Amino acid sequence: MTLEARVIQHLKSKKMILCTIESCTGGLIAHRLTNIPGASEVFWGSWVVYDNSAKLRLGVSLQTLKTKGAVSPEVADELARHGLLSLQQALDQFPSNSLLKSNRWIALSTTGIAGPSGGTPEKPLGLCFSSITSIEQRPKTLKILAPPQLDRSQMKNFFAERALEALLEYDPK
């Protein structure tokens, strides 16, 4: 069974509804999940917030972007929290939506540097932060560091893989 299929199965078993907010992975996580039959039962949708203005539009604080930078655990957390709020608002507007059968909504975000340029000594090429949050819990943030020999596409896949693996372990209580 593929990682994506296991994630979909996990979400179903825990009655969780997922949304993703992706920067460095560019929608790759959403793409991988929606390749699995039955994903529509647990996957609501995704935002790709690549440019900082898109992050601001979703609700990330300008102050956080200026002081911490787009590639930071704080931005990953804010992306996940604001994505979750948007998911809640959207589902509240459509009370007949079949996804409302669950109130275990979760959000997964990614923000990082896939290269081939853009890294600094403090934030090297291959650095990604992924955050998972729910209504009940504070964001759980994962620091991902890809091997330096990977190219851009391989790094995006590496980041997506680690984020999907983190979803398998996530269970809002």
Looking at per-residue pLDDT, the higher value among 110 and 89 belongs to 110
What total of structural domains would you count in the chain? Answer: 1
What secondary structure letter does DSSP report for 39?
G
Among 33-37, 88-92, 146-150, 159-163, the minimum mean pLDDT is found in: 88-92
Q: Report the predicted TM-score, pTM, of the whole model to 2 decimal places.
A: 0.94
- Give pLDDT, residue 100: 60
133-136 contact pairs (CB < 8 A, 24+): 133/77, 133/80, 133/81, 133/84, 133/106, 133/107, 134/16, 134/84, 134/104, 134/105, 134/106, 134/107, 134/172, 135/84, 135/88, 135/103, 135/104, 135/105, 135/172, 136/172, 136/173
Contact criterion met (CB below 8 Å) for 144 and 165: no
Give the domain CATH number at 15: 3.90.950.20
% the chain with pLDDT above 90? 79
* Containing structural domain, residue 10: 3-169
